Structure 1
């Protein structure tokens, strides 16, 4: 019997994702990058312009959803804050693409409470990435973007390469497209690739890493810069039989609903051995810490 995709159960996906964020340093390493490296990238866009067009894509493919945590909206606002610092007084038109009504409302609530957002106009697009593309093409819109960010969302589209191509086509001459994904050196990506046939049963959970995107860009001769973001994930609870939080983490890591209860014994053993292998995790002080490295790709127009 085929394993069920975690994303088919909204409530459990949300719980597992929130636990993942609590146990990982993912958002902290993103914030470090946004505050330390991104400002220099943003300084190169829109030079001399009185208005900047920004697009944030946090969606999945048609008929799917991507459960986000309020921290993602905070990351988006951190990007806007750095834009304001690098381009003071410039008007910013910010297109937000997000299919989840709940997450859209969370983002709007954060915006309403955030200071220093003057001169920023938010346009809310409650739709997926593919729906936005169809909308854009259908309306024959010609608006160009100075900066586009796609953070941890290419796992949830049917064709990541085509999605990157479309959004890159929206860039202004000096615009930048920023993609953040698990790195090709990230052992989580290796886990999903090794067990692709057994685990990946749905387009909503693509086994894609920056290595896949870089291969596509290299084949097309598209230049990019890349930055590695070291991140770790405490997976100690995954090895405690019957531990509810450990089972939630395993669900998220495998993208399988109730993995520990429904996976065949050989698959479960293979996944658990992989997670604990010295090449993937470090053990000490009673903890098992998994390599969860991220990578940023920055593309020109």
Structure 2
């Protein structure tokens, strides 16, 4: 996220040397999580540029904001709607409010057409805007586990895709991007404790064997640490 933040500020370098008062960054957050990451990014951006104000459109509001102090420099616009409803509203209003920064955070599992969703939000970028897509990496234990046990594990109303799928879509269209790996690990040692809730014997044995496989996890200090890393892509505006 720091690399993306650096990219955003560097592209506005001409403005940041002698920023207008206040310096305004227009953002759009599309997320299904609490918003900690974006608030941290805004905080760091403000530390570097104290005169900044942020106009932040949010699809999927977060209660975290009500618990966070010193957000007077951010104007929040809450949109209680899905990405499709937001897209329809933009079409109906026939006025596109360009954004300097758009973050699609762990959302693409839940959309019917990830390719079209990315293209739509990319079209909302300003001339120097950046689109940040955050999703599970295609090289994680989670990816390996899901590919083998998809039918048994598909218990939520969405589809499973990884960043490898997204990069394949972008590559097929000749769209360039910058990729950043963000390591993330989970202690799954309790999965191997006898007496915990279990699945059918064959599935249990297969899943536990795969969870423990070096491609999925590493054993450290007697603990089994699962690779659940995230990958971030940064895209420029559409030509």
* TM value normalised by structure 1: 0.70
Aligned to 1:81: 43
Q: Is the 8 A contact 2:4 2:132 kept in 1?
A: no
What is the alpha-carbon root mean square deviation over aligned residues?
A: 2.1
Larger Rg: 2
Determine the C-alpha separation between the residues in 2 that align with 1:190 and 1:199.
12
Aligned to 1:146: 100
Q: Deviations over 1:59-103 (max 9, x none)?
A: 4xxxxxxxx3xxx322221111123234442332100110xxxx6
Residues 1-301 of structure 1 correspond to what in structure 2 (within 5 A)? 33-34=1-2, 37-46=3-12, 47-48=14-15, 50-59=23-32, 68=33, 72-98=34-60, 104=62, 106-110=63-67, 113-115=68-70, 117-200=71-154, 203-204=157-158, 206-243=159-196, 260-261=198-199, 264-301=200-237
* TM value normalised by structure 2: 0.86
Of 224-233 and 279-288, deviating more is 279-288
| Structure 1 residues 203 and 45: CA distance shift in structure 2, 3 A | farther
Q: How far does residue 230 in structure 1 lie from its aligned partner after superposition? A: 1.5
| Structure 1 residues 276 and 150: CA distance shift in structure 2, 3 A | same
Counting strand residues as a fraction of each chain, which structure ranks higher? 2
Task: List alignment gaps of at least 5 residues for structure 1.
Answer: 1-32, 60-67, 248-259
Q: How far does residue 52 in structure 1 lie from its aligned partner after superposition? A: 2.0
| Structure 1 residues 93 and 130: CA distance shift in structure 2, 3 A | same
Task: List alignment gaps of at least 5 residues for structure 2.
Answer: none
Q: How many residue pairs are counted as aligned between the two chains?
A: 230
Counting helix residues as a fraction of each chain, which structure ranks higher? 1
